[in-house]
Amino acid sequence: MLWLADSFEAIRDFMALGGTVLTWIALTIFLMWALIIERLMYFRAPMKKMSAEIHDKWEARAERRSWNAHAIRESMISQFSMATNQFIPMITTLVALCPLLGLLGTVTGMIQVFGVMAVSGSGNVRAMAAGVSQATVPTMAGMVGALSGVLLITLLSRRAAREVEFLEDSLTMDH
C-alpha cells in the first residue's frame, strides 16, 4: 500500500511542477482516453450486434430493388455509420487540443519567468527555474497526451470506416 501513497505523491508533485495548465491537460487526456475506451468497448460487442440486426432486417425484406428499398438501405447504413463514428470527431479534437494546451503552459511559464526577471533581475535563478519547469512540463505532457491518442484515433477511424464499408457491401440489392 506504500507504493500507492508514493505514486499519489509523485503525481501530485508533477502536477504542481506544471502549474494550473497541467490540470487542464490531465483532464483533457482523461476525457480523451475515456472516449477511446468507450469506442473500443463499443467495437467489441454493441457494434457487431447492431450490424447483425441491420443485416437480418435487410435480409428479411421481400423486395430490395425499388427506390424505396434503396432509400431504406441507405438509411440503415447511415444510422450504423453515425453510431460507429459517434465519438471519433470529439476524440480527434481532444488529440489536437493537447499540444495547444501544452503551448499555453509554455506561454504562462515564460510569463512567470519574465515576471521574476522584471522584479529581481536575472539573479534569482531558483525562481526562474520554477517558471522554466512550468513552461516545459505542460509542453511535454501535451505532446505525450497527443501522441498517445494519435495512434488510437487512426486505428479507430480506420476500423469504423472498414465496418461501415463491410456492412454496405453485405446488404445486397439482389432478390
**13: pLDDT confidence band, cut at 50, 70 and 90?**
confident
> What percent of the chain has pLDDT above 70?
98
Nearest CA to 161 out of 46, 80, 91 is that of: 80
Quote the cell numbers at residue 58.
435487410
Q: What is the mean pLDDT of the chain?
A: 90
pTM across the whole model: 0.85
**27: pLDDT confidence band, cut at 50, 70 and 90?**
very high
What was the pLDDT predicted at 7?
Answer: 86
Domain extents for the chain? 17-170
Q: Which residues neighbour 77 within 8 Å (Cβ) at sequence distance 6 or greater?
A: 54, 164, 167, 168, 171
Alpha-carbon span 60 to 39, nearest angstrom: 29
pLDDT tens-place string over residues 64-98: 889 999 999 999 999 999 999 999 999 999 999 99
Q: Which helix (H) or strand (E) holds 64?
A: none
Specify the DSSP class assigned to residue 172.
Answer: -
Handedness of CA 114, 119, 123, 129 (dihedral sign): negative
pLDDT tens-place string over residues 115-152: 877 777 766 777 777 778 788 899 999 999 999 999 99
**Which residue blocks in the chain are alpha helix, DSSP H?**
2-18, 20-44, 46-59, 67-84, 88-120, 125-170
